[in-house]
Structure 1
Amino acid sequence: MDRSKFIFANEISRKAYKKAIKTKGKYMSKYGDDTKTVYHLSAVPAPAIGKTLGVRNIVLSRESGCKFDEKSIIIGNIRMGFGHYRISMAIASAAHAMGYEPYWFDLHSFKQASCGKIIAEQNELYSFGSRLSQKFSLFNKLVWEPLNSEGFRKLTYNSMDQKTTELMTAVFRDLPKDIPYVATHVWPSQAAVHAGLTHVVNAIPDNWPMGLHLSEGAIHTVQTPSSYLGYRALRGMDKKRQLKPMPKDDIVYTGHYIDHELVSNIEEDCKRRIDRATNGKSKRWLMSVGGAGAQKEIFIAVIKKLLPAIKAGKATLFINVGDHDKVWHELVTAVPQMKPFLHEHFDDFGETTRFCKAAYDGEVRGIHAFCHKDIFAAVYSTNLLMRCSDVLITKPSELAFYPVPKLMIKRVGGHEAWGAIRAAEIGDGTYECTTAAETAAMIDMIQHGGDIIEKMCGHIITAKKAGVYDGAYRAVELAFRGRK
């Protein structure tokens, strides 16, 4: 079945289909066609999360070394920013808590295969565009915002991706066809379907319906009711016609994809936040730098804004720059006044883990910076820090859905706007603060009063009772559903 010609019974124009074929041909010319190549797989403990979440990382090897059983589940993903890795960790965490054994399957990591080469090129382009959009407002307005909100929304974009992901199937040869498989990016989902896997779940990350995220042949999961309706109707994915909708059995509203260790500790974590907020203790702010390393100017403004409160012992700041040590050095250069209060936690995930445990149970002051070259540690450090933080400062990306009070800063791409809308409506985050002045005003309001944190924590607990944060568990259940 050619999934680029018809998408949910909607025929793609000849012009768009020819473009899809041409795009595939371009990648074949550049990186070759290895769909007939035999790649074997083996598994090793994943860095940082291997022990705590039971995750095994799949790597290419000379001989088949993976021994899957009825408890095995594949987490298909790619490194493109941090978001898809973070959602993958949530799925893996839920699977582990449910008694399953998660296997990490990152198509980007297979450097010698066509899939790894194609994705590496796309990741570099996307990261570059993200950074550029934050430096040049005209580029952001005329190119980046429209591309992320409307360009990726088109059904024809999905047609092009479907054709390209036909080149990514070779690495799937060692996987059993009926193995439960959850993909946290559409390319690993499309490739899995092309490779003949039968229990594929496509965990859609964004709250803004886009044709980009469709993977016909998989079960699509979404995090919000509004996203469910938008995807079900294929809303706005073709401006010239009303599209036929997705069949109801192909899409499921699951709730937010959140790690088990965060969901299971919501009440206690919120209790501690409320205690700090209402008893005049130092408020703990967590600032997470995204995978593209964008928004440096906003981070500088936030640090400068919080510095007086940090000096007075009224605020504590955690900064996780992920694996962007260059960004960290730029921040220190831009705000040298923070050096007397600075503690660096670099490239020692064990020490980071111990720090978070100590901070959870005790007092902490100053500015604490975290940076890890290892991508697993870089991403998961934010998850650890969330539990001992009062407010997370983040753009409205995948973190917009997490059960921690959030201050939403300016988005990077139009598709992220609806993440902030969701958080504001649930009540576990602010609306999107689009300017430095608006961000500073929100910091003031939260810093000088405990009621906002207390209210957000109340909304988080209410949302938990409603199952809002159970999306990861449900995605895993769907992957195992119907398996004989």
Structure 2
Amino acid sequence: MKGCWAAPSHATMKNIGRSITAVVVIGLSLLFFENHQAAKYAALTASNTFDIDAYVTRGLGRGFENPPISDFDKAKVVTLHSLSVLGHNKTDAPIPLAFSPSPFVPNLHISKAKEVSSAGVSLSKPLIVGTIRMGFGHHRIAYATASWGIDSGSETLFHDLLAVESPEAGLIKRTDELYSKGSRLASELGGLIETTWGGFTSKSGDANALRTAYQLAEVLKPLLKGLDINQPIIATHSLVGLTAIAAGFKNVINLVIDNHPQWFLVVPGALNLVQGPKTLGKLLRMGVPETDVRLAGHWVPSDLVKNAEADSLVRLERVRAGAPLRILLPVGGAGAQRRWVSQLLEALGPLITKGSVQVIINAGDHKHMRGAFEEVLERMGMKPNDGYEVVTTIEGVHRFCSERRNATEPAHGVTLFAFDTYFPAVAATDLLSRVSDVLACKPSELAFYPLPKLMLRRVGDHEADSALRANELGEGTEEMREVSEAVSWIRLMLTRPAYLRNMNKRVIANVGAGVYDGCKNAVATALEMQKGTYSSWDASSKYETLDEMEDAGEHTVEGGRGLRRMMEAEGECIVSFDASSKYETLDEMDSA
């Protein structure tokens, strides 16, 4: 009869029963696995040098503690650690190291695993810059830090964990390969893959990620134990900082690499230096003690910082003279963005042909990127030395920069830089930045550089906050998600020069406020640690407000003017720089 309920058949009931049984069995199995893995956590962490759980759980204290680690979290950390080490036999034996002069950077020393016959050079009390060659970013920041170490006259050692050939270095290399592959796939495929990868890079850096990273650091200790643990070490990758803490280093400085605060980027037991106030505030709110975090400024090489104001004045003169807009387009170390940057290059074709825009491309050491760009240039009707030039040596980079400083324009509208080796691939962008009008890049470590920036599409969601930092400082655009957006902003720079003038004036203001002095301050702090004179400025501060500090006349640059500049740089007040401004610098305005 219609509408009547028919009892399920015996076979149907049997299948339902089997399904319920299967769910129960799977649930019990997962519960058993969780309990089994969680039980291993105590043994895994028993010999740790540092108690990560106590550090994370402490939170703000006084009733505002963070939740303690759960059994599920313990099981997760144990499982992830097992996958990271894959049966690697842990040892505390140090790997003997040999030091030698860098073949690329004068007065810099590098390290590698010592061979039986190798002698090397002796270093007494080096300033150690520790890094990992993962993409270009961590190395770029390490070279930037080393440049200030060299300027200070200190013996400076560049210690790349991947350069120390060993089973431990192999563990890191495998992780780097997976990350690079993920970045390339996300950039090329977009859509769901990009969304998933973005979420992974921005939301997976929780306390469990820190716990997992620290357990790996306990395994990597031999990579640092060949160094003097009494010397300060500046880490440009949190894993290096964690390994230094695990190895017993007394003075560890961790450079927090971007503007997206995550536990994964924190090194408990170290001084964590950050580039902007947003990161400072959020790390404090997460529970990082005041003595363990400090606002330092952006990670920028000494050459760029010392010449930032002069280079900005040159850019202002180029805007005034109506010179072609010279755009630097570098690619990242993971080799992502091939399709996006290729589309942008092709979209700029009419402006390049017209002579309104010059494009400098750094394809790095990625052969597939060079090939992709050459295909695009060929479609645009350009050939080598007939529309574009190819530069393949670091000497060629220096020559190109020297010619631009002599106020000569490139012979072609496009210059493609492509290299066979790693160092020039990284260094070229730093050198070329000084002779470029605009840096067009994803919001990576380059988002913090002292020149006007066109922020291109991010590869991971964690990069979004770096674009916001540049935009809020007034020397970078918002992030361009589509090629058409990027082209429209380039047209804006060409047709509304007041916008580009303002960006350069903001760079000059930021220089005066010390915004770009992060690496300089990191090195100065490390040298204080080396001499035993370092103390936490936060713990000893007697001022509650900027007004109190200004009234006392302390910690300002040129008195109240320096404080005003600091406030301007952080967006606390607005200075009008319109198209009719007759002042090229803040000093000129102050004098008037």
TM-score, L = length of structure 2 = 0.76
Equivalent residue for 1:19?
A: 76
Q: Quick check: 1:292 aligned with 2:334?
A: yes
Matching residue's letter, 1:68: L
Write the deviation string for residues 165-185 of structure 1: whole angstroms up to 9, x where unpaired.
111110222211111110001
Q: Per-residue displacement from partner, 1:267-295 (whole Å, max 9, x unpaired)? A: 21011111111111122110010111111
Contact 1:397/1:419 (<8 A) preserved:
yes
Select which of 426, 433, 440 maps to 1:379: 426
> Among the aligned pairs, what percent are the same residue?
31
Partner of 2:512: 465
Alignment-derived partner of residue 43 in structure 1: 99
Partners of 1:186 and 1:215 within 8 A in 2? yes
Q: Given that residues 5 and 17 in structure 1 are in contact (C-alpha distance below 8 angstroms), is that contact kept between their aligned partners in structure 2? A: no
Q: Is the 8 A contact 1:277 1:454 kept in 2?
A: yes
Per the TM alignment, residue 352 of structure 1 is displaced from its structure 2 partner at its CA by: 1.5
Name the CA distance, whole Å, in 1 between partners of 2:312 and 2:266: 36
AA of the residue aligned to 1:143:
T
Deviations 1:134-166 (A, max 9, x none): 2223334541111111112x1111111111111
More strand by share: 1
Q: Counterparts of 1:349 and 1:308 in 2: how far apart (Å)?
A: 30
Alignment equivalent of 2:447, drawn from 400, 418, 430: 400
Superposition pairs of residues 267-282 of structure 1, within 5 angstroms: 267-282=309-324
**TM-score, with normalisation over the residues of structure 1?**
0.92
Q: Tell me the CA shift for residue 256 of structure 1.
A: 0.5
CA distance in 2, matches of 1:47, 1:451: 43
Report the counterpart of residue 107 of structure 1 in structure 2: 161
Q: 1:80 aligns with which of 134, 154, 163?
A: 134
Distance 1:272 1:229 in 2: 36
| Residue aligning to 1:239 | none
Matches within 5 A, 1:84-483: 84-114=138-168, 116-152=169-205, 154-234=206-286, 245-336=287-378, 337=380, 338-339=382-383, 340-346=386-392, 348-365=393-410, 366-483=413-530
431-440 or 442-451: bigger deviation: 442-451
Q: Which secondary structure state, in structure 1, belongs to the residue aligned with residue 515 of structure 2?
A: coil
Counterpart in the other structure of 1:242: none
Decide whether the 8 Å contact of 2:127 with 2:155 is kept in 1.
yes
Bigger relative contact order (CA 8 A; separation at least 6): 1
State yes or no: 1:69 paired with 2:128: no
Distance 1:271 1:27 in 2: 50
CA distance in 1, matches of 2:418, 2:251: 37
Rate the CA distance shift 1:142–1:449 in 2: closer, same or farther, 3 A: closer
Q: Any stretches of 5+ residues in structure 1 without a counterpart?
A: 235-244
Match of 2:585 in 1: none
Which residue type is aligned with residue 317 of structure 2? D
> What value does the CA root-mean-square deviation take over the aligned residues?
1.8
Distance 1:435 1:312 in 2: 23
Which one is further off, 16-25 or 171-180? 16-25
Q: What corresponds to 1:237 in structure 2?
A: none
SS at match of 2:408: coil
Shift of 1:482: 3.3
1:7 aligns with 2:55: yes
Contact 1:20 1:161 in 2 (8 A): no
Which of the two has higher C-alpha Rg?
2
CA pair 315-334 structure 1, distance change in 2 beyond 3 A: closer
State the 1:192 CA deviation.
Answer: 0.7
Aligned to 1:240: none
**Structure 1 residues 209-242: Cα deviation after superposition (integer angstroms, max 9, x where no partner):** 01111111111000000110111112xxxxxxxx
Structure 1 Cα separation of the partners of residues 189 and 367 of structure 2: 23
Q: Which runs of 5+ in 2 are unaligned?
A: 1-48, 59-67, 533-592
CA contact (8 A) 1:148 1:415 kept: yes
